């Protein structure tokens, strides 16, 4: 028998309701259409359902593995990095690609809105 | 000598060159590096339309000095580069509309190393958008076709690189592999693809997908070439602090050494449900061949391997959602013309620039990392990852390498899996565990399927930083498969 909670999570996963999808999209800074929202709801639900099989495994007491090389505190010498010496050419390559710019500066829309 | 030259040129037109062929031809004076580059350039111009393997092509390097590098085994060898690896001053799209006009500001470390070795670059190859996919159908610039059957996918995400090598539109190529993106397309296109150990090759200048898994590696026509290219691109790099400070061996040195007595592990989990019969048959044949060569075949178990794909589809979206946050429409890349406010710039630029799969994965990653879900998804997945690594560590106490299929199927039809993301994800079921464990693996062609007559890939998996044994077993098997 499914508990009420389990039954609910099968029909609608918490966080993946219509408002949930909109919230995730806004956190991810992606504007989505109604159609995309429906598609994402379906795709994410089916992927998460597949991912649920991880719950079959008891991971009590298991340390998570974030990396495999075992390297820790990988330092480099604190020297001038000549490979990336800034010059006019490199400056143009970097700043030059900004979609909106003025001279050597990247332009952005104002952060605060003006009072009307 | 004139006869030799004609023979060489004929060979180029029919089978194409391996790196060794180029070495020989240049050393004996049968041709010059400029001629080789031009032959390949011309061939690409003629044949790329039907394959869509290349997204952009380059002019031959102008300075004469660049052609004079006779001392390196890679001198004068023309290569194709996956379009998520930066080459200074050229467009790098990552297969995405959002970077359609992006110009690389520097050379990736692997490019610097290859340049120094005298390699020339023919162009940039197609890929699934931001390397997210297993078919190149997710590219914003159209699917690449499999040279063995133009109605089928080449695999992915390094599908353009694998197709270019298979069709001899390059002598070798570089790809990147996060969950199988070198090995699976190599398998589907009938070429050799190697994912090195995590930490072996610098990713500086690779557009990151999942930083704890990504690794650059070679796609070549044979195992010998794979060893040569791996040697050229490996090593510690101050610009990628995950690279290990250990020496790079000469990977070609021991290829000829006998593999008699070597213990070969066959994991039962790699031969279960979902594996096509004709793939299974070819893989079993290769295992028999290894046995006949004096290897000891050992049945092993990787009990958590079946959870690898589920853990992978948490870890990758989480890391990708963070990595792709840099695409904000402000510093570079696509910027929406309609945006009125700063927030609109982010929302609209990303909405217009990203295709369906990056959106899906960014959303999934954002969800899994959001408050209240982190423990249930990301942390859980990283614990499973520890168990998977542990399975491999245990297995390698008993065996020297592990073998099995690279992909559960041969190349599938274009569009066949396009509507169901999960079914496409399943084509990486045998490659993903290797990335999670950070170990090296190579896919080599082991014949064509009985029914489809399409290439089948055989995967050889090794201990961390033991590419030498992986290459040696693969090389020896390749000789008897010829």
Q: Where are the domains of chain B?
A: 2-233
Residue A2 pLDDT grade (very low, low, confident, very high; cuts 50, 70, 90): very low
- Record the tokens describing residue A28, joined without a space: 């991810």
pLDDT score, position A116: 58
* Residue B451 CB burial class (10 angstroms; 0-12, 13-18, ≥19): exposed
Kindly write down the DSSP assignment for every residue of B330-370, as one continuous string. SSSS---SS--SHHHHHHHHHHHHS-HHHHHHHHHHHHHHS
Nearest CA in chain B to A47: B422
Q: Respond yes or no: is residue B181 known to be catalytic.
A: yes
pLDDT score, position B394: 98
Q: Respond yes or no: is residue B371 known to be catalytic.
A: no
Residues of chain B positioned with their CB less than 8 A from the CB of A28:
321, 350, 362-363, 366
CB atoms within 10 A of CB B60: 17
Residues of chain A positioned with their CB less than 8 A from the CB of B372:
15
Tell whether B369 lies on the interface with A, counting CB pairs under 8 A: no
Residues of chain A positioned with their CB less than 8 A from the CB of B309:
50
Nearest to B335 among A51, A90, A99 (CB): A99
The answer on pLDDT for B1 being more than 50 is no
With both helix axes pointing from N to C terminus, report the angle between B356-369 and A34-51 in degrees, rounded to the nearest 10.
Answer: 60
Nearest CA in chain A to B342: A109
Indicate yes or no: CB of A71 within 8 angstroms of CB of B332.
no
pLDDT score, position A8: 46
Dist CA A95 CA A71 (whole Å): 34
The answer on pLDDT for B415 being more than 50 is yes
Residue A78 pLDDT grade (very low, low, confident, very high; cuts 50, 70, 90): confident
Sign of CA dihedral B129, B132, B136, B137: negative
**Upstream peptide bond of B123 is cis (omega within 30 degrees of 0):** no
Largest interatomic CA distance in chain B: 73
- Record the tokens describing residue B67, joined without a space: 């052609």
Share of chain B above pLDDT 70, in %: 95
Nearest CA in chain A to B340: A109
Task: Identify the weakest region by mean pLDDT among A110-114, B352-356, B419-423, B445-449.
Answer: A110-114
User: pLDDT tens for residues B92-139?
Assistant: 999 999 999 999 999 999 999 999 999 999 999 999 999 999 999 999
The answer on pLDDT for B36 being more than 80 is yes
Mean pLDDT of B66-78: 76
- Record the tokens describing residue B56, joined without a space: 């952009």
Largest interatomic CA distance in chain A: 70
Closest CA–CA distance from residue B207 to any residue of chain A (Å): 16
Closest by CA to B305, choosing from B379, B404, B211, is: B404
Residue A10 pLDDT grade (very low, low, confident, very high; cuts 50, 70, 90): very low
Residue A72 pLDDT grade (very low, low, confident, very high; cuts 50, 70, 90): confident
Indicate yes or no: CB of A47 within 8 angstroms of CB of B421.
yes
Catalytic residue among B135, B181, B226, B349: B181
Catalytic residue among B41, B134, B135, B157: B157
Residue A1 pLDDT grade (very low, low, confident, very high; cuts 50, 70, 90): very low
Provide the CATH topology of domain B2-233: Amidase signature (AS) enzymes (3.90.1300)
What contacts 24+ positions apart, CB below 8 Å, involve B167-170? B167/B47, B167/B51, B167/B53, B168/B15, B168/B16, B168/B17, B168/B43, B168/B221, B169/B40, B169/B43, B169/B44, B169/B47, B169/B48, B169/B51, B169/B53, B169/B54, B169/B80, B169/B122, B170/B40, B170/B78, B170/B79, B170/B80, B170/B122
- Record the tokens describing residue A89, joined without a space: 């050419």
The answer on pLDDT for B67 being more than 60 is no
Task: Give the global pTM.
Answer: 0.95
Q: How many CA atoms lie within 13 A of B469 on its CB side?
A: 22
Closest by CA to A68, choosing from B385, B62, B323, B364, is: B385
Share of chain B above pLDDT 90, in %: 88
Nearest to B348 among A16, A31, A71 (CB): A31
């Amino acid at each position: 028998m499914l508990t009420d909670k389990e039954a609910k999570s099968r029909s609608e996963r918490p966080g993946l309701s219509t408002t949930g999808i909109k919230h995730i999209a806004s956190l991810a800074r992606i504007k989505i259409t109604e159609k995309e929202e429906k598609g994402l709801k379906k795709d994410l639900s089916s992927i998460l359902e597949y991912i649920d099989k991880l719950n079959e495994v008891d991971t009590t007491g298991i340390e998570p593995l974030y990396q495999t090389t075992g390297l820790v505190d990988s330092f480099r010498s604190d020297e001038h990095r000549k490979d990336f010496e800034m010059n006019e050419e490199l400056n143009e390559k970097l700043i030059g690609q900004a979609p909106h710019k003025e001279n050597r500066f990247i332009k952005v829309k104002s952060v605060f809105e003006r009072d009307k | 000598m004139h006869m030799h030259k004609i023979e060489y040129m004929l060979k180029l037109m029919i089978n194409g060159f391996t790196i060794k062929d180029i070495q020989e031809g240049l050393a004996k004076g049968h041709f010059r590096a400029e001629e080789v580059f031009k032959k390949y350039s011309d061939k690409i111009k003629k044949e790329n339309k039907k394959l869509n393997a290349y997204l952009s092509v380059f002019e031959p390097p102008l300075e004469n000095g660049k052609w004079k590098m006779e001392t390196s085994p890679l001198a004068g060898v023309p290569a194709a580069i996956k379009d998520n690896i930066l080459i200074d001053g050229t467009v790098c799209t990552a297969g995405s509309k959002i970077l359609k006009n992006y110009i690389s500001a520097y050379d990736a470390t692997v490019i610097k190393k290859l340049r120094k070795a005298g390699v020339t670059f023919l162009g940039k190859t197609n890929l699934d958008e931001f390397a997210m996919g297993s078919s190149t159908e997710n590219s914003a610039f159209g699917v690449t076709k499999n040279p063995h059957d133009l109605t089928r996918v080449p695999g992915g995400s390094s599908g353009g690189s694998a197709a270019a090598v298979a069709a001899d539109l390059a002598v070798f190529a570089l790809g990147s592999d996060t969950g199988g993106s070198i090995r699976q397309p190599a398998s589907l296109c009938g070429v050799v693809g190697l994912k090195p150990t995590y930490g072996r090759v610098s990713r500086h200048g690779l557009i990151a997908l999942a930083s704890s898994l990504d690794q650059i590696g070679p796609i070549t026509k044979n195992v010998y070439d794979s060893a040569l290219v791996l040697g050229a691109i490996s090593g510690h790099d101050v610009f990628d602090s995950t690279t290990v400070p250990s020496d790079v061996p000469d990977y070609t040195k021991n290829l000829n050494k006998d593999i008699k007595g070597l213990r070969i592990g066959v994991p039962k989990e790699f031969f279960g449900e979902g594996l096509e019969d004709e793939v299974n048959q070819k893989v079993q044949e290769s295992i028999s061949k290894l046995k006949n060569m004096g290897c000891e075949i050992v049945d092993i178990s990787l009990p958590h391997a079946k959870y690898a794909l589920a853990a992978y589809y948490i870890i990758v979206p989480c890391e990708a959602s963070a990595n792709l946050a840099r695409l904000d429409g402000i510093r570079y890349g696509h910027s929406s013309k309609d945006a009125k406010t700063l927030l609109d710039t982010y929302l609209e630029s990303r909405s217009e620039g990203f295709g369906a799969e990056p959106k899906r994965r960014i959303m999934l990653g954002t969800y899994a990392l959001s408050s209240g879900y982190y423990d249930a998804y990301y942390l859980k997945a990283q614990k499973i990852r520890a168990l998977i690594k542990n399975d491999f560590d245990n297995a390698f106490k008993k065996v020297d390498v592990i073998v099995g299929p690279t992909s559960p199927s041969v190349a599938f039809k274009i569009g066949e899996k396009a509507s169901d993301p999960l079914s496409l994800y399943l084509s990486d079921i045998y490659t993903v565990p290797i990335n999670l464990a950070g170990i090296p693996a190579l896919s080599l062609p082991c014949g064509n399927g009985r029914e489809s007559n399409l290439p089948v890939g055989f995967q050889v998996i090794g201990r961390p930083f033991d590419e030498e044994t992986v290459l040696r077993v693969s090389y020896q098997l390749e000789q008897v498969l010829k």
